[in-house]
Amino acid sequence: MVPLSWYLLLSAFLFASGVAGFLIRRNIITIFMSIELMLNGVNLAFIAFATVRHSLNGNVFVFFVMVVAAAEAAVGLAIIIAVYRTRETLNVDRVNLLKL
Amino acid sequence: MIPSGDYIRILPEIVLSIFGMLVMVIDPLLGENDDRKSIGVVSAIGALLALGATFIMAGHPGEAFYNILRVDDFAVFFHVVVILIALACILMSFEYLKVQEIRQGEYYGLILFGTVGMCLMSSAIELVMLFVAIEISSISTYILAGFRRRAAESAESSLKYFLLGSFATAFFLYGIALMYGATGSTNVDAIAAALRQGTPVMAYLAIALMMVGLGFKVAAAPFQVWTPDVYEGAPAPVVALMSTGPKAAAFAVLLRVLFGTAAPGWFWAVWIAAALSMTIGNFGALVQTNVKRMLAYSSIAHAGYLLVAFIAVRNMEQGVSAAMFYTAAYAAMNVGAFAVVSHFASAGEKYVSIEDYAGLGRRSPVLAAVLTVFLLSLIGIPITGGFFAKFYVFRAAVSSNLIWLTVIGLVNSAIGSYYYLRLLVMMYMKEPQSEESVPSVPFAAGFAMAGCVVATLYLGVFPNRVLQFAIESARTLVH
């Protein structure tokens, strides 16, 4: 059986690549996908812990995360369309009317 | 079988959800040219009924739905605060939406649904419920931030809020996952019991990640960068809501997670976050020319003051109750300030720079006087709620020997008064730039402003009742 730590390392790696993608990528859609990648890293950690501990809490949590991520995607893509309509670009560096 | 008493413990949420759906059903039934004010009235009634339901709920304390929720004084306190905030925002939106030509049905629906999330955040003791509640409130506010759809700023503000908000949620979730791994449970009480047995290294990491997520939600430094941008672009009544409602609820979550689970090792992290938030918030606000941006930085600074109360660990009850009192006082004065800003902004949010407020004292004495009350309270002048809020926080800090943090806080309060006073000077001592008359305040918005003034002064003159209630609720939270 694959030991728990491997799963945790993979989940940490997925999460970290999500964070890196969020910070480095400039396309809004790619940034949004990076966030989904982070969530999947979290899901993997939940499943791994649930399997080791023989409890269902982790599995149930994953369902909630997936449902909420779907809701977030629906809203997020709508917002991205609204931005594209007003600015005609998907590059975050050019969505800069409000100074950061 | 779920006992029927459980449903009473989510009665305010049920009422809010029903009215949220009702509002969205009424909207398409109305004709294209009908006056849509009735939708706003229905949602205001919904908020009022929810407030009544909260008092019924308060009579039935205890756990509900297999330990997912707990109704105690703490939850009741935040229910009342959040629902009052929502009510004030609904009232000030009547006129705003008409002036800005914003579609109304979904708007009020989203405010009500968002409030459901905020209410659940304050009573959830199971991390699954907590996560879903945070998302209900966040997703509603993401959409609300972009409601001036045709304005590029609003869409951009919504996008930034959405991206950074979901980024923060992912951190919060990873924290929950690790906490589950470390303790084998996602229930606050069970986690507390497990952590008393001993603290695995993973639990420290979990707490750190959860604090990153919640730090974003309360806009505490170093996770505050999104705040000014989002507040500048979002519609003013929505800023009134999201700078107080989700924030109050997120502080409730932070209190539950940190104190409810008896989590270890966060003292210095919160210390630094508090000091940084106060400093960055106040120095950032000094150079702003846009009122909404200035109030955004001021809200970062106030999050800092609030965090000071968290670290007063030597006397937890005092610290927690000071934090709760601060949330209530901050909600009253900030919602009020944004009510004035949203009324004054006019079509397309034209008048939001500080120069536009020149001579307001002459052009509209009442509006200026109302804003003065809120600004004085934000500074922390006696007989306003802001004074006692700061006083209790710093008293708790001093009694826990946090001398340095208190000094930083007091220096910051002094710096902070500069930019609030600058706005006051602008209103009363500068010549008006335009002779255009300020439109008179309509009844609903006026009612919201009056309510905020009364609340601010009430907390400043008779703070005892609210504080006493906060102390009792703190006792139920800190075992």
Q: Which residue has the tokens 């979550």?
A: B253
3-state secondary structure of B67: coil
Q: Is the pLDDT of residue A44 over 90?
A: yes
Verify whether the Cβ–Cβ distance B162 to A75 is below 8 Å: yes
Residue B470 distance to chain A (closest CA, Å): 33
Residues of A in contact with B163 (CB under 8 A): 22, 28, 31-32, 35, 76
Total of domains in chain A: 1
Planar angle of CA B332, B228, B356, nearest 5 degrees:
75
Verify whether the Cβ–Cβ distance B135 to A72 is below 8 Å: yes
Q: Is the pLDDT of residue A93 over 90?
A: no
| CA distances for B220 relative to B192, B418, B465, angstroms | 25, 21, 29
CATH code (residue A12): 1.10.287.3510
Q: Are strands B62-64 and B69-71 parallel, antiparallel or unpaired?
A: antiparallel
Phi, psi at B290, each rounded to 5°: -105, 130
Say whether residue A39 is in contact with chain B using an 8 A CB cutoff: yes
Classify residue A40: in a domain, yes or no.
yes
Q: pLDDT per residue over A16-43, tens digit each?
A: 999 999 999 999 999 999 999 999 999 9
What's the pLDDT at B263? 77
Q: Is the pLDDT of residue A100 over 60?
A: no
Classify residue A95: in a domain, yes or no.
no
Rg of chain A (C-alpha set) = 17
What's the pLDDT at B47? 97
What's the pLDDT at B43? 95
Q: Is the pLDDT of residue A99 over 70?
A: no
Residue B269 distance to chain A (closest CA, Å): 21
Residues of B in contact with A38 (CB under 8 A): 167, 170, 174
What's the pLDDT at B447? 95
Verify whether the Cβ–Cβ distance A39 to B156 is below 8 Å: no
What's the pLDDT at B346? 83
Helices (H) and strands (E) in chain B, counts: 21, 2
Verify whether the Cβ–Cβ distance B158 to A82 is below 8 Å: yes
What's the pLDDT at B479? 63
Q: Locate the domains of chain B by residue range.
A: 4-478
What's the pLDDT at B284? 94
Report yes or no: B194 and B259 within 8 Å, Cβ to Cβ: no
Mean pLDDT for each consecutive 10-residue tract of chain B (479 residues)? 88 96 91 82 96 95 92 94 96 90 88 97 94 96 90 90 95 95 92 89 92 93 91 94 94 88 84 95 93 95 94 83 95 96 87 89 91 95 94 93 93 94 92 80 93 96 94 84
What's the pLDDT at B348? 82
Give the residue numbers spanning the domain of A9: 4-87
Verify whether the Cβ–Cβ distance B176 to A39 is below 8 Å: no
Residues of B in contact with A64 (CB under 8 A): 128, 131-132
Closest residue on chain B to A31 (Cα): B163
Q: ipTM of this model?
A: 0.96
Helix then strand then coil, % of chain B, to nearest 5: 80, 0, 20
